[in-house]
Amino acid sequence: MRRIVGSLILFATILILLPSILVLPYGTTEMRPAPASEGNQMTKEKATEVVEVDVPVFRSAQEKTMNIPIEDYVKGVVAAEMPSEFNMEALKAQALTARTFVVTKLKNPSTNLPDQAVVTDTIQDQVYKDEAQLKKAWGDEFDEKFARIEEAVQATAGQILTYENNPIYASFFSTSNGYTENSEDYWENKAPYLRSVESPWDVDSPKYEDKETFTVTDFEQKLGVKLSGSSIGTIKNLTEGKRVAEVSVGGKTFTGREIRDLLGLRSSDFTWERDGDTINVVTKGYGHGVGMSQYGANGMAEDGKEYSDIVKYYYQGVAISDMETYVTDYTAQR
């Protein structure tokens, strides 16, 4: 058992209470030591040491909680959440978000989860798959794909993202519409590090654009409105991230997120047109748009950016810090 070094830091209550991450399951080759943290200035020797902590994960299929070593948990999340063929630097960035997310949960566990779990293995938190599930999904490609996941996780082992010395809410999503979203434009709370930034790489994502077709009757029922004549509705304003902020339909006002949820759209960046008895809705992007775009991260990596550049671009003002400091009190309780 490695000795856990670090001073107890009280987790400031500024951590925003955002809803659970919406993640979309969706990963080349060079191992090197983790860089020094801007927050804690880890030494080379320190960077090779990783605190030992188990994550109580509620396994939905088994309907029970299992304790999984944190680095193994991160491997299972990265494998489930990002394509293994993505650039290695993008995979490392995903490992950082996954580890940060669960450390935040360890520090502030939910009281709503069963069997003393801290996270589930579903999109309620982050999708997690164990090796047996991955072997079944990847078949003969398992060894090659999992080796890449392991490399990304090991290269960032023990690192998390912090803002003003507190672990962040590391939200991520699949594909942007060309911009990420300010947190308060999709959720209620404002996080200073979740700011809208341009993400032009996403145009190359296979999920960049989508089209859904509804009958007028189905459209009216889903929104609880009655359309008048050939008009559908009026988009009243957009968010900084170029998504629909507010729209008027059939005399009712909706947020873009409400329309997305009610119609089951991929994104709240949408346009629509009526064609007789049908309504065609075209969306750009896939996901809520807050935080790191996975396809954007891969595009940045392909352009030569390192994982530290990627996370600091999508999470404004953050530092890469040593995890030990933030989980010492949790491990002591266990």
pLDDT at site 81: 97
**Smallest Cα–Cα separation from 157: which of 56, 73, 84?**
73
| Residue 290 to residue 15: CA distance in whole angstroms | 16
For residue range 95-131, list pLDDT tens digits in order.
999 999 999 999 888 778 988 899 999 999 999 999 9
The three-class DSSP label of residue 244 is strand
Q: Would you call 133 exposed, middle or buried from its count of C-beta atoms within 10 A (0-12, 13-18, 19+)?
A: middle
DSSP string, 123-149: TTS-----HHHHHHHHGGGHHHHHHHH
Contact 149, 76 (CB under 8 A): no
Residue 13 belongs to what H/E stretch?
A: none
Q: Rounded to 5 degrees, what angle do the CA atoms 263, 174, 244 make?
A: 45
- Predicted TM-score (pTM) of the model is 0.83
What number is the average pLDDT over the span 215-231?
A: 93
What Rg value do the Cα atoms of the chain yield, rounded?
21
User: Taking 90 as the threshold, does the pLDDT of residue 204 lie above it?
Assistant: yes
Identity of the residue numbered 43: T
For residue range 234-257, list pLDDT tens digits in order.
999 999 999 999 999 999 999 999
Domain ranges of the chain: 44-203+288-333, 209-284
For residue range 126-173, list pLDDT tens digits in order.
999 999 999 999 999 999 999 999 999 999 999 999 999 999 999 999
- What band does 333 get if pLDDT is binned at 50, 70 and 90? low
